[in-house]
Amino acid sequence: MTLEITTIDAAKKGSADLLILALVEDEPLHGYEIAGRLDRGSDGTLRFTLASLYATLYRLEERDLVRGRWVERTGQRRRRCYRITDKGRKALAAQRDDWSRFIAALTQIAGLRPAFATATAGRPAAATAGKPA
């Protein structure tokens, strides 16, 4: 059996930090919430294994870009919720700038059509509010 790495798989690996930091920017989330939002927000294109997601979260925490905290709620399992740190906000801003330039260059040179307008068509405005166009 041959494992073939797709273009999307390679891009996912390179964009994991950006995606996670963007998701925990406004509110703390636990790993399953992050995975679900990535999956739903990308219509299944950005699906991470929990093992790779948690490895990325631990690495981000070691670099002080996110901070994890155990949360216990009655009738629920204990969960580790992650929130962005000030250092993480700075890293997220820099990554957004870098990725914006990279995507613009890909679009211009490779003749890509931005799929964002198509992907968000028909979704409520709240689902796309604050998302880069």
Domain presence at residue 55: yes
Q: For the segment 88-132, what is each residue's pLDDT rounded down to a tens digit?
A: 999 999 999 999 999 899 889 998 886 765 545 444 444 444 444
Tally of structural domains, the chain: 1
- Which of 47, 43, 51 has its CA nearest to residue 19? 47
The domain in which residue 91 lies consists of 8-113
E strands present in the chain: 29-30, 66-71, 79-84
> 0.95 cut: is pTM over it?
no
CATH number, domain containing residue 37: 1.10.10.10
**What gap in Å lies between CA 74 and CA 89, rounded to an integer?**
32
Domain presence at residue 95: yes
Q: For the segment 35-64, what is each residue's pLDDT rounded down to a tens digit?
A: 999 999 999 988 889 999 999 999 999 999
